[in-house]
Structure 1
Amino acid sequence: MATIEDVAKLAGLSRTTVSRVINDQPYVTEEKKQRIIQAMKQLGYVPNSSARRLRSQKTETIAVLLPRVTNPFYGNLIEAMEERASELGYQVIVCQTHDSKQKELDYLQLLHTKQVDGVVMTSVINEWEEIEPFLQSGPIVLCNEYRAESQVSMVHMDHRLAAYESTMHLIEQGCRRIAYVSGGRESHVSFERKLGFTEALQEKAITFHTEMVIDWAENVQDGQRAFYDLTENFPEVDGIFTGSDEVAAGIIYEAGQSAWKIPGDIAVTGFDNQMLSLLMVPSITTISQPVREMAEKTIEVLYSQIVHKKVYQPSRYVYDHHLLVRNSSKRKTLSFQ
């Protein structure tokens, strides 16, 4: 097996110069770099990445905390993050919290114990005062989630405005008894969405019925259950805002099984523009987020903080969303009365 001494001998250079090239250090001419690279190829020499990381005191690893990877939104987000991180020479480990406060803190220990160089949080379950001490061990960037009180960079869209526009769309389609169905009751994102929902109702003087709020629905099965809970207790419901295309799909499926017409009897909106939203019959009106752009920006911001290791000004990157109106809510437009 070739050694660094063998590379130095074949290239006609010192072991120190070879080491500087392997560790990507400055002050080596391009001509010498190419001689060393050619010698390494000829000998089949592969640098010991673990030793190199130990010397640089970097793991070249990023942890991404998310509620559950089975949600297509997070699946697409993590895929785009992994691709961008790989381009920058970093690997990504996925940490599912399942909305557990303790799991969230346990995974943040990876930063404290220097097992990762930085952390991306796509949701925050604990109070920020519980998270903040971990910043002494390394950088944290929020993606999708945002907290006004935090002193970290954030990459997200305006969930409050998106929920407002989606709810206003239901109102414009003639809905007056509108239910709110979402999940992540501890999430600040869910809190912002509910604010946007209630603002739209208040603006049009429509009564907000707290009994028509479901805050535990996160997947298709939850959507099926939510449909029965709502229609049995509030048969007059004529519109449903949901925080997920999966939940919306569950509602639409069960509505069809129960001879309720969508959108004639109940207009339904989803969130995230998952592939499921196009495959359902009827197709689901939804909010489209620029997932790839947000994911790439998040990794780039975190990478910059890891590499430069200096005091930085937290930045906030807010991306635009789009309301995609499809058949699950599209009625003949009625004037508001």
Structure 2
Amino acid sequence: MRDVAKRAGVSLSTVSLVVNGTGYVSDDMRERVRQAMESLHYVPNDLARNLSRNRANTVGIIVPTIRHPFFATLTASLQHVLSEQGLQTLLCSTTDAVNGEAEYVDMLRRRLMDGIVMGAHTEHAPDYWTSIHRPVIAFDRVLGEGIPSIGSDHVQGGRLIADLLIRTGARRVAVIGGPRTQFGASSVERTTFPTVRYHLALERELARAGVHYEYVEAGEVMDFAGYASAVRSVFDRGADCAVDAVVSSDIGASLCVREAMARGVSVPDDMQIVAYDGTYLTDLAGMPLTVVRQDFQGIARCIADQMMRLIHGKESKGAVSDAGAANRAAYPVGEAEQLISVSLVEGATTRDRH
């Protein structure tokens, strides 16, 4: 910067103002500094500048896998929205990373990141996350008191599907999803893994209407072969236990359409199929899927807004503060979750409502 100032014939502080985009500098001086920077091939040291501000302008996003279309779509939306806020993203896929989230948490502790969006399963206790003393936002899970959680309104999603299937005359419904053990608590309201709430809400609403419900396990979220096997098992059943409706993620629902076509099963006359997520796969299944669509942009914007608020709230105190305490103040217990509405988009895989 001293070389630039000398070449441009201005003070060092003027160069600093131009580089950092702060304060007033006349157009003439700004152009002289720009030309001097160009002639000297000067590139501002962002690392040093960020350290001086106690900022890294980087947010870590932790997901189970980026191979799954849901997490690929979500991370793309998050990256776009955070970029609009001037933040870069570092992506961690826990199934593909040797140390899981530990490396990212360490980077956050060492102030190499400004915050973390945690969207993967973790074995760590709640006090582990609050002890980081930096902004952490949970996506579609509850990490504990003091950690804000943002996700879709999955209870609404379950009720939308139940209402559709009941009104279209479904009598035997199979839901294909991950390990049942992930449900944890049996209560729709109390489970710490909010994604399963749509399964629990759907099960409850169908039971009230006298519609048979069964859950078919398909393995972990990244186990695509497990989903294919589960779909085949549903179609392999005899007439006495055949289902007339299947609900699954976009992956499971798309596989159901393909399996039905291969076996000559009429969709939706003999079998209705409902997808849950609303990623690009719903347009590639072979026919337009009926889907409960999550609002990826709405989720991303909510996460970005909360992250910026936590980051700036910490900075406004002039020092590194306990982000866990800030989170607890902003999100009292019982009010920590922010839910984004989902929507039902009816396609060709369900019947017209009666």
Greater mean deviation of Cα atoms: 110-119 or 145-154:
145-154
Paired position in structure 2 for 1:304: 309
Paired position in structure 2 for 1:321: 342
Q: Alpha-carbon deviation of 1:233?
A: 4.4
Greater mean deviation of Cα atoms: 59-68 or 224-233:
224-233
Paired position in structure 2 for 1:246: 251
Root-mean-square deviation over aligned CA pairs? 2.9
Greater mean deviation of Cα atoms: 245-254 or 55-64:
55-64
Q: Structure 2-normalised TM-score? A: 0.79
Q: Alpha-carbon deviation of 1:158?
A: 0.5
Amino acid corresponding to residue 53 of structure 1 in structure 2: N
Question: How many Å separate the matches in 1 of 2:29 and 2:132?
Answer: 39
Cα distance per residue 1:278-321 (max 9 Å; x no partner): 33333211011221122122123212322331535136432221
Paired position in structure 2 for 1:31: 25
> Comparing both chains, which one has the higher relative contact order based on Cα–Cα distances under 8 Å and sequence gaps of 6 or more?
2
Paired position in structure 2 for 1:292: 297
**Cα pair distance change 1:126/1:197, threshold 3 Å:** farther
Question: How many Å separate the matches in 1 of 2:157 and 2:127?
Answer: 29
Count, aligned residues: 321
* Superposition map of 1:190-209 within 5 A: 190-209=195-214
SS of residue matched to 2:311? helix
* Superposition map of 1:1-337 within 5 A: 4-9=1-6, 13-19=10-16, 22-23=19-20, 28=23, 30-31=24-25, 34=27, 37-43=30-36, 44=38, 45-98=42-95, 103-126=100-123, 128-129=125-126, 131-136=128-133, 138-143=134-139, 145-147=140-142, 149-183=144-178, 186=182, 188-209=193-214, 212-216=215-219, 218=221, 221-233=225-237, 235-242=241-248, 244-309=249-314, 311=326, 313-314=330-331, 316-331=337-352, 333-334=353-354
Q: Alpha-carbon deviation of 1:229?
A: 1.4
Q: Indicate if the aligned counterparts of 1:164 and 1:199 stay in contact, CA closer than 8 A.
A: no
Q: Alpha-carbon deviation of 1:49?
A: 1.4
4+ residue segments displaced more than 6 Å: 99-102
Q: Alpha-carbon deviation of 1:42?
A: 0.9
Structure 1 runs not aligned, ≥5 long: none
**Cα pair distance change 1:35/1:297, threshold 3 Å:** farther
Q: Indicate if the aligned counterparts of 1:268 and 1:284 stay in contact, CA closer than 8 A.
A: yes
Question: How many Å separate the matches in 1 of 2:122 and 2:98?
Answer: 6
SS of residue matched to 2:236? helix
Question: How many Å separate the matches in 2 of 1:140 and 1:216?
Answer: 28
**Cα pair distance change 1:133/1:237, threshold 3 Å:** same
Question: How many Å separate the matches in 2 of 1:182 and 1:302?
Answer: 31
**Cα pair distance change 1:172/1:217, threshold 3 Å:** farther
Cα distance per residue 1:59-94 (max 9 Å; x no partner): 221100112212222222222222222233221011
Question: How many Å separate the matches in 2 of 1:8 and 1:203?
Answer: 76
Q: Structure 1-normalised TM-score? A: 0.83
Greater mean deviation of Cα atoms: 184-193 or 274-283:
184-193
